[in-house]
Amino acid sequence: MIIVVRPDATEDQIEHIKQKLQEHGLQAHVSKGTERTIIGAIGDERILRSVPVEAIPGVEAVHPILKPYKPASREFKQENTIIDLGGVAIGGRIIPVMAGPCAVENAELTLQVADEVKKAGAGCLRGGAFKPRTSPYSFQGLGEEGLQYLAEAGKRTGLPVVTEVMDPRDMDVIVKYADVVQIGTRNMQNFRLMKEVGNYDKPVLLKRGLSATIKEWLMSAEYVMSEGNHNVMLCERGIRTYETATRNTLDLSAVPVLKELTHLPVVVDPSHAVGRWDLVAPMAKAAVAAGADGLIIEVHPNPEEALSDGEQSLKPALFAQLMEELRPIAAAVGREI
């Protein structure tokens, strides 16, 4: 439920409301807007119905959240959430671009790509140290060694690092090196992993599942947020359809739909969606026009020799050209790259 606090309520009264909710085993999340303060009460609906919240001093009104997802919903929070990705804000006027190799292959390549994408204007460095692959015989990533290369490149360039987690047991080592934790499409409904990630104070990039509905996607975000971590970004990366001309079908309609349903930032990954380097640029431009809050794009200096997803990676020069072409599109919709 949403508890609307009276305009003249004191800090002591707000704290008292929180304590009352917590006494009944409910989570209390305070959101202070420009005009009003609201408190989101999250927990068992049977308990919520039994608590006389309107009788607590400082409470003006109580409204139920009708959506099955609670903290992620627009009912819970009207203002767009802006998340700090290690010094880069996402969800505001500026649209950060996360760029880098699909998989971290070695130190030299990682540093080279980091320098190139930084020079072109990227806001974050992405790279996989743990790689979920369809075939068990494909390159699976370098693990902690790869994380060390990412951290070194991030430190040198000043770019926050985005990398994927596959196993709850790897969280401690990943948060040691990375600024943003990515949940890949195959793990969107790995609820044990969702809950574990929710226990850490790290921004989360949650990719849409291969065949997930928007409702299912938002419910996965709930698993993270229910554990206390509300710094969640949603990443549209294409869904599986009958079409075979592209790797997946990029559902750009999801961007404006999500903007209506949730306050969370929405990122688009055109690389994994189309699976072809020549289609990445047009879909990245379309994503910005559709209202995306960020992009994640794969960049590799020699795609023919890439150990993972070379066919969808842009060479650094093409990435720099794309960044230039994105800027007037962003300006046309009132944003910046």
The answer to whether residue 78 is domain-embedded is no
pLDDT value at 138 more than 70: no
Q: How many domains does the chain have?
A: 2
Q: What is the pLDDT of residue 204?
A: 98
Cα gap 13→59, rounded to integer Å: 9
- 112 in the same domain as 6: no
Q: What is the pLDDT of residue 299?
A: 97
Give the CATH number for residue 90. Answer: 3.20.20.70
Q: Which of 35, 63, 91 is the last residue of a domain?
A: 63
Cα gap 268→289, rounded to integer Å: 11
Cα gap 17→20, rounded to integer Å: 5
pLDDT band for position 140 (cuts 50, 70, 90): low
Degrees to nearest 5, angle at CA 295 with 290 and 297: 130
- 253 in the same domain as 186: yes
27-32, strands of its sheet edge to edge: 27-32, 37-42, 2-5, 59-63
Residue 27's closest CA among 51, 61, 8, 5?
51
Mean pLDDT, residues 241-250: 95
Cα gap 270→274, rounded to integer Å: 6
The answer to whether residue 69 is domain-embedded is no
pLDDT band for position 139 (cuts 50, 70, 90): low
Report residue 204 as tokens: 């989360």
The answer to whether residue 71 is domain-embedded is no
- List pLDDT tens digits, range 17-30: 888 888 888 888 88
The answer to whether residue 283 is domain-embedded is yes
- List pLDDT tens digits, range 211-224: 999 999 999 999 99
Give the CATH number for residue 52. Answer: 3.30.70.1140
Q: How far is C-alpha 133 from the chain's CA centre?
A: 21
Q: What is the pLDDT of residue 47?
A: 74
* Mean predicted lDDT score pLDDT of the chain: 91
- 253 in the same domain as 155: yes
The residue segments making up the domain with residue 159 are: 83-332
Residue 283's closest CA among 247, 229, 240?
247
263: left (phi over 0), alpha (psi -120 to 50) or beta: alpha
- List pLDDT tens digits, range 115-133: 999 999 999 999 998 766 5
Report residue 322 as tokens: 């794309």
- List pLDDT tens digits, range 163-198: 999 999 999 999 999 999 999 999 999 999 999 999
User: Rounded to the nearest 10 degrees, what angle do helices 316-332 and 277-290 cross at?
Assistant: 20
Whether the Cβ atoms of residue 175 and residue 150 lie closer than 8 Å to each other? no
The answer to whether residue 266 is domain-embedded is yes
Q: What is the pLDDT of residue 142?
A: 78
pTM of the model as a whole? 0.88
- 100 in the same domain as 11: no
- List pLDDT tens digits, range 274-300: 999 999 999 999 999 999 999 999 999
